[in-house]
Amino acid sequence: MPHSGPALEQPVQLSKLLQVGLKIHANEPALISLEDTWSWADLEETSSRLAANYLTLGLKPGDRVASLMPNRSALIVHYLACFKAGLVATPLNYRYTPTEIDHALDVSEAKIILAHAERRGDIAASKARDLPLGVITYGAESGEGTRFEDLMTKQAAKGNLPEPKPDAPAAIFFTSGSTGPAKGVTHTVDTLGWMFASVAKGYAFTPSDVMLPASSCSHLGGFSFGFGALSAGAQLVVARSFDHAELGPLIRATHPTVMTMLPASLLHLIREPETTADDFKSFRLVRSGGDKVPAELQKEFHALTGLYVHEGYGMTELGIAANNPPAGTDKLGSIGLPNPGFSFSIRDNAGQEARNGEDGRVWIRTRSQAHGYWNDPQASAEVVRDGWFDTGDVMKADADGYLWFDGRQKQIIVHDGSNISPQEVEDALLEHPAVEGVGVVGVHNLLHGENVRAYVVFRPGVSRPTAAELIQFARARVGYKAPEEIVFLDTMPLNATGKVDRAALKKMAAGDHAHHL
């Protein structure tokens, strides 16, 4: 039997996403950062004005509007305007190089791009300069081309904004590109609406909540948490960066009740000397996902705050699919239960439902499933069968229906016929007080199939163990799964979403292997 979350009644209507907050507290803060605050009424009026002004530029419903923006409250206004004008919001990772920008623009066939002024050089070096409707610049000086600030404040032409159909495209998000060129994940008005409704119900957001997604709103995680919270009338706090210099003052000024953050960033935050238990007194839930939450993070976070980090699971193609329930049992190490509107099917190699406690490949069905990959029907067809999406991930379920993530099928290391999850080995090594970061990959070996290799970065100013000592440390925790090899790095390679870049580590390992041959 598939494992299913609670049912959802209806999707959020994107063009009326702010209606709950407007009805309850129109003149109170809806969107907050350290540089500005927007009331619900201001946010509604400005996003409607911006939507109308976008259409006067020559944009039509269905046109793709790319954005190369860091986290700013203006980016939230931009997304709301796209929803209201029927435009397809197409966020680009702010770390993108000109080559990556070109790929995203080519795939999406964007008509125009919104970019921060500090990226002028990269925009000039990319195909953005040749887009049909050019560039909108945020933070530009007066008179310097089309300025975003002018479009937000300029009196808009009168007339009704279009109401896009449920199956009309609404957003394109790009995959990390770890297994090939980044693909454009296409969500419709309907799939985003169901996604936001699932977040709002699954995390029990109310108008009294203050939500801080301490991650990029150009990625689906920060995006869906932000709009899920707004749709329930909760305040949204925008962090411009995710270090202590930004987050410390922001948390103390806004008193969030819910925060989401990548594990590595959260570990850095709580290890800052200035971070105290008082900073977390307002929180009812701190959630992490994207990478395995290490046991060391749980231990240090609980020691500081008295709380545990709720682990979860999501995908760009699906939304936020699972979480330890906010008001229920939090099983540490588990990704929790399916969120509202999601069903998980864990299947063995024969395609049959795996028994509780047995690993299997995970297929997911949900109404928030992406329509497909933009202009790539073959890639879309490869991951969907009978309405179920093939995640490529390996999980098991326990007797209570809680889900346990054991890695990506392509990342599982097969050593002497045994399957080894890189996350489990990383978790063990991260318990060592000298270890700052770990990435584990399999390295081809004629005798064993694959050996386990760990790439390790040390914390600054600590006494460093030898490779042999670290291997023994891991062996005491995970036995035969401990690494045979350890390589020390000065910095850990990260992918475009800020996670450990295992693809880069595999390339390092392949290069080392070729050199040894």
As a whole number, the mean pLDDT across the chain is 91
* DSSP count for the chain of H helices, then E strands: 15, 28
Examine the pLDDT at 6 and tell me if it is beyond 70. yes
pLDDT at position 480 is 80
pLDDT at position 10 is 97
pLDDT in tens, 314-366: 999 999 999 999 988 899 889 999 999 999 999 988 889 999 999 899 999 99
- Local confidence band at 450 (pLDDT 50, 70, 90 cut-offs): confident
pLDDT at position 409 is 60
Average pLDDT over residues 168-172: 98
pLDDT at position 362 is 94
pLDDT in tens, 187-212: 999 999 999 999 999 999 999 999 99
Range list of β-strands (E), 105-177: 112-116, 135-138, 146-147, 169-174
Residue carrying the six token digits 């435009």: 87
Q: What is the token pair recorded at 340?
A: 């509202």
Separation between Cα atoms, residue 162 and residue 298, nearest integer Å = 47
pLDDT in tens, 359-391: 899 999 999 999 999 999 888 888 899 999 999
Examine the pLDDT at 417 and tell me if it is beyond 50. yes
pLDDT at position 516 is 36
- Local confidence band at 311 (pLDDT 50, 70, 90 cut-offs): very high
What three-state secondary structure class fits 20?
helix
Examine the pLDDT at 502 and tell me if it is beyond 90. no
Range list of β-strands (E), 267-371: 285-288, 310-315, 319-323, 337-338, 342-347, 360-366
Other C-beta atoms within 10 Å of 154: how many? Answer: 14
Examine the pLDDT at 38 and tell me if it is beyond 80. yes
Q: Spell out the domains of the chain, with CATH numbers in brackets.
A: 38-164 (3.40.50.980), 412-516 (3.30.300.30)
pLDDT in tens, 239-248: 999 999 999 9
Separation between Cα atoms, residue 411 and residue 493, nearest integer Å = 17
Q: What is the token pair recorded at 1?
A: 């039997």
CA 361 to chain centre: 22
Examine the pLDDT at 227 and tell me if it is beyond 50. yes
pLDDT at position 515 is 36
- Highest mean pLDDT: which range of 143-157, 246-260, 446-460, 492-506: 246-260
Examine the pLDDT at 514 and tell me if it is beyond 60. no
Give the distance between the most distant pair of CA atoms in the chain.
73
pLDDT at position 180 is 59
pLDDT at position 485 is 92
pLDDT at position 264 is 79
CA 154 to chain centre: 33
How many Cα atoms occupy the beta-carbon half-sphere of 429 within 13 Å?
Answer: 35
Average pLDDT over residues 50-67: 97
Examine the pLDDT at 258 and tell me if it is beyond 90. yes
pLDDT at position 424 is 81
pLDDT in tens, 87-110: 999 999 898 889 889 999 999 999
Residues 321 and 362 sit within 8 Å (Cβ to Cβ): no
> How far, in Å, are 100, 105, 120, 143, 181 from residue 125 at the CA level?
11, 13, 9, 22, 20
pLDDT at position 252 is 97
Separation between Cα atoms, residue 331 and residue 315, nearest integer Å = 21
> How far, in Å, are 4, 53, 136 from residue 117 at the CA level?
45, 20, 9
pLDDT in tens, 388-411: 999 988 899 999 999 998 766 666
